[in-house]
Structure 1
Amino acid sequence: MSIGNANSPEEDRPSTGDGPSIGRALQQARIRAGLTVDEVSTTTRVRIPIVHAIEQDDFTRCGGDVYARGHIRTLARAVGLDPAELIEQYDDAHGGRPAPTPAAPMFEAERIRPERQRPNWTAAMVAAIVAVIGFVGFTAFSGDDGAKKRPVAEGAATPQPAPKNTGSVKTLKPSPPASTAPEPSDSALAAAPKDMVTVVMSAMGGESWISAKDHNGRLLFDGMLADGDSKTFTDKESVDLVLGDAGVVKLFVNGKEIKDEFQPGQVERLTYSKDDPRPADAQAG
């Protein structure tokens, strides 16, 4: 019995429109690039079973449309394809672009069990330096007042009180508190160690689930960053980040603000090193 004319499973897979399906296009591009599924998974951090499922046009393991679109975008960039065309093809087949949804519930399938966090000695050192600078400034400011209030020696003439100023006195009203999340102070950013990468993030206008790891893959933080809150992460080589809603997160890397314009509801995977502020390997989630 001859099997020379039998079709392979890939050839039997239906295509959409005039070109191959999304999974077929990703698989062909990966093969042309000489990459294995394991190598693509390592590069993109998309788990191997999900890569296999997407290449078979099975998006049920992605956890929803938002994550399916994010995985398609990440895999397309890894194998050299234009993500926009594949995302448009996916939206046409699944009822259009989904409305942004809170990222935290959708991440439950991929969240890693938190490890016991160790004391962040670098952050403590930065806080101590800032406190010392503030104390020195306060001491210098109050030194003149202390000199004026020295006790009078016994037998000396009692100093007369200064004449009262009869002019009008303007009362300075305190400025109203800012409505946005506080940014890291210049002194704190300047005091960051130069031989380490320091990442400071603040949530502005909403909350976002975030995950941070050091260069060894050890989990530094996994949880929600509430509106107005800030987190600081340091490592001697690199810090890997996953932002569930990158549109509300403001980033400072090694003392400089990252100006990337992320959209609300956009999932981002980022890696920063001590030589940045540009991301060494920014990948959309």
Structure 2
Amino acid sequence: MSELELHASETQAEPGPGAMLRMAREARGTTIAEVAAALKLSPRQIEAIESEDFSRLAGATFIRGFIRNYAKLLRIDAGPVLAALAENAALPHAELNAPMDVGVKMPTGSGRHGKGLLGATLLALLMLALALVLFFDVIDVGMFLKLQGSPMTSTQEGQPQVVQPLPQPVASPSPPMETSGEEKPVDSSEKPVVKPGAHQLIFTFDGSSWVEVKDAAGRTIFSQMNAKGTTQVVEGRPPFQLVVGNASLVRLQYNDQPVDLMPHTRVEVARLTLD
């Protein structure tokens, strides 16, 4: 990659949570309508999430739940997406407005009764907010996917739903996924030893990027969202089929040779095969 291209890639803004989800969806070839059906949301809500127009959605707690479910549906790590949400996005806050005076005076009694009623109301609101936070931030929605029975439904468009993962295309039965795609720290003083018959891919991320790698048998040996400043080493048997999101911010080496992703990139997603 030339110095001009490196400079252009460094000046690009870090993608927000909506852009991360959109790139992962496009890399998987999934439409907005399919995502909306799986999450039991409307297409305009999915568009609002991807465009980060959070004013069209509910409060901050519900938005975090929507994004967590969306990331789980795409089978990517929700951590970097939620971190980008907290860093880049301004979330709306649900407003609790006191009812207007309708001219009916409530019995006051002594001052202590009024203070007690106010304290009980504030305590009830605090408990409600705590319950919402615990539900969306602590409970893993994956545990609900294992439950048997009919799927949950809701008549309110703004409530998050249990994720129903999209069916994955399977060409033929294959043995369990190899673990060679796990992150391996790269020591600058020595190169990782490559197994006999295997070839090595080294990804260096100058920005957040979703990457998927399949080996000669068509098995997915690496698939995840990668954070800025990290390096991933993937080993396997070629030919490799690669899908790289946000490709302009990714540097790739194949068998110690640099690979230019730009000729294979369309709408920030690179698709290529390495023999």
Q: TM-score range by the shorter chain?
A: 0.3 to 0.5
**TM-score relative to the length of structure 1:** 0.33
Higher radius of gyration, 1 or 2 = 1
Relative contact order: is structure 1 or structure 2 higher (C-alpha 8 Å, sep ≥ 6)?
Answer: 2
